[in-house]
Structure 1
Amino acid sequence: MEVIPSINCEDIACIAKKIAVVKKLGALWVHLDVGDGVFSSIKLWDKKEDIIKLKDEALAKMAPIVFEVHLMVKDPEEWIEVWLKAGAKRVIVHCEVIHDLEFLKKKCEEYGAELGLSIEFSSNIEKLTPFLTEGIEFVHVLSVPPGLQGQKFHEDALKRIELLHKRYPSILIEVDGGIDDKTGKLAKDAGADIFVSATYIFKAAKPDIAYQTLRKI
């Protein structure tokens, strides 16, 4: 199973420390959370000048690891380019707040990045499906409310994963939130292809063992 460690940090030092852990794990990707305090319950990287500084002091030094950014914001069109300039190779935006899909797609194409769409565990799947005829090949299912790490996995997410997998078998499905050895098994059985995990990996006494446990599911 592909596993992407998730970084939910408010400062550069925290991100740099976790990137160092990820390098030891041998992971190829990291997942960065961004919140505006409106769509999400927390603010994370909600000032563009801070993102530029983050790029210079941490993100530009993380090779060979690449990153995806999860925009838990009400206006993704306003924020996508600053993260593409920072080096994001995949940008995940919520279907619940998309205003201009073509704009988002063109920006990602311009920077050679992939656009992924996210849906919350509590949202009607029909909010997402109209976008899946527009060349989107990557879906992110958020199995917790948008906000802090360490939240409990909501099993309603499994219904979304199962339905997406059945309707769109070629689309990659990433699941994020409350992923551990037990919920990961449930998500894989439902049709998930990728796990995003923060607490289970970074709070473990031995992050490498936690990471490999998820990989082996």
Structure 2
Amino acid sequence: MAEPATLQISPSILAADFAHLAAELRAIETADWAHVDVMDAHFVPNLTLGAPVVEALARVSPVPLDAHLMIDDPDRWAPGYAEAGAASVTFHVEAAQDPVGTARAIRAAGARAALALKPGTPFAPYADLLPELDMVLVMTVEPGFGGQSFMDDQLAKVRQVREAVRRHGGEIWVQVDGGVAQDTIGRCAEAGADVFVAGSAVYGADDVAAAVAALRRAAAEAV
């Protein structure tokens, strides 16, 4: 597997202290992104935050925001997260009626457009969407809650996406989210991922900056 062009760490604030989010964002200033999980209690059985909070976080975050929308009707709502200040907006293909139009609307609003796939969703039917995308997210747990165990069987999908990106050309990132930690990130990188979402592996550590550095080092060593 060819080495990805970039290796980026995106800590998930789902594992952060919601009472002190500004401070929790400052703690990950050495990361590349802050991953913001938006859940509506419909597409997934959990409820987190919405566009007004993303807008507030964008004003104080030292790193760009990567909004992961686990919501119904992203065709309607996704562009608003770009307008709220998210630099990358990810929507689930399972919830989108018009993925091409949604991706184009996100880009038109000034953000990177990304497509997410749940563990049970194959990538092949959506490979022709790559020209509209800046990133593909392969979920390595069922979306909805943090702290779940990493699903090794999703690495085959990561490889499939990386190979499709290689054939397509251009710079399209491959992101993994779910159970990413010191003992799993290497396998993800080896499979072709280059953006790594980690929640408890970062915010559960005594030294958040050291945890980010250790994850980055483990990913680099694998490729």
Same-fold call, TM > 0.5?
yes
Distance 1:117 1:198, change over 3 A: same
In the other structure, the counterpart of 2:174 is 173
- The residue that corresponds to 1:13 in the other structure is 19
- Aligned counterpart in structure 2 of residue 151 of structure 1, from 148, 151, 156: 148
Match of 2:204 in 1: 203
Deviation of 1:141 after TM superposition, in Å, equals: 0.8
Give the alignment of 1:97-176 within 5 angstroms. 97-132=95-130, 134-169=131-166, 170=169, 171-176=172-177
Whether the 8 Å contact between 2:138 and 2:176 is mirrored in structure 1 is yes
Cα displacement string for residues 15-42 of structure 1 (whole angstroms, at most 9, x for unaligned residues): 323212112xx12311100111121120
Q: Distance in 1 between matches of 2:16 and 2:45?
A: 14
Please state how far the C-alpha of 1:125 moved relative to its aligned partner. Answer: 2.1
The one-letter amino acid of 1:201's match is V
**In the alignment, residue 60 of structure 2 is paired with which amino acid?**
K
RMSD, matched Cα: 2.0
Structure 1, unaligned stretches of length 5 or more?
Answer: none
Query: Using a 3 Å threshold, how does the CA distance of structure 1 residues 9 and 103 change in structure 2: closer, same or farther?
Result: farther
Residue identity opposite 1:41 in structure 2: P
C-alpha deviation, 1:11, in angstroms: 8.5
Q: Partners of 2:120 and 2:107 in 1: how far apart?
A: 30
CA distance in 2, matches of 1:78, 1:9: 27
Contact 2:83 2:110 in 1 (8 A): no
Give the TM-score normalised by the residue count of structure 2. 0.85
Query: What is the aligned length?
Result: 208
| SS in structure 1 at match of 2:180 | coil
SS in 2 for 1:146: coil
Give the Cα–Cα distance (whole angstroms) in 2 for the partners of residues 182 and 10 of structure 1: 21
- Greater percentage in strand: 1
